[in-house]
Homo-oligomer: A and B are copies of this chain.
């Protein structure tokens, strides 16, 4: 009886995992429609399970669900995109601060192994590389002994995929592996200031890679945008 345990995943769990994967891999892109019955047919289950999965994805802000309307993959507007990166800087800086000089040898090894894996990945712009890049950040956050922090970082990392999909070019080396290496180095030699700075610089790089411009996001409203076209057509 020591056996058994866990294992059992409900149907909605499987669908949740599949959809989530498809979204962060950008197979499903922001704005794509997610009709419950179509998805259900596709997985061979009823709408019931699909609804549960969609609800969960909605809670994580990976899908938008308007009442009585088909759900769609979330597409963060520029303002939201900035808020997400802003928050990542805030949280992951905290991760760096807390981890600097406090990593065990085993943890450092785990991180270095992960970075090595990233380097060895053949296609640098592949879905796999993108996935690994995200995992690096999750791995790091998971080493802080605070599951709330880990969960928030993980959520933000996922949502970043949406932003890259919208404003960057698909999987354009989401994260420079060298920057990951620099972060690990600073952390393991216990240099908190450098670690924090490396993290900030890294996230800045990632954000820049996706040019979220669009009128600096403060000017973002339909009126302003349409006005530009009106001028052209006048």
Q: Using CB atoms and an 8 Å cutoff, list the residues of chain A in contact with chain B.
A: 8, 10, 51-52, 55-56, 59-60, 67, 80, 83-84, 86-87, 90-91, 94, 145-149, 152, 156
23 A-B contacts (beta carbon < 8 Å)? A10-B67, A52-B55, A55-B55, A55-B59, A56-B59, A59-B59, A59-B60, A80-B147, A83-B145, A83-B146, A83-B147, A83-B148, A83-B149, A86-B146, A86-B148, A87-B146, A87-B148, A87-B149, A90-B91, A90-B94, A90-B149, A148-B156, A152-B152
Q: How far is the CA of A60 from the CA of B58 in the complex (A)?
A: 12
Q: How far is the CA of A56 from the CA of B51 in the complex (A)?
A: 12
Name which residue of chain B comes closest to A149, CB basis. Answer: B87
Out of B56, B84, B145, which one reaches A55, CB within 8 Å?
Answer: B56
Q: Which residues of B contact A147 (CB under 8 A)?
A: 80, 83
Does the CB pair A8–B80 fall under 8 Å? no
Q: How far is the CA of A86 from the CA of B145 in the complex (A)?
A: 10
Name which residue of chain B comes closest to A88, CB basis. Answer: B148
Query: Across chains A and B, which 8 residue pairs bring their CB atoms closest together, nearest first?
Result: A59-B59, A87-B148, A83-B146, A83-B148, A55-B55, A90-B94, A86-B146, A87-B149
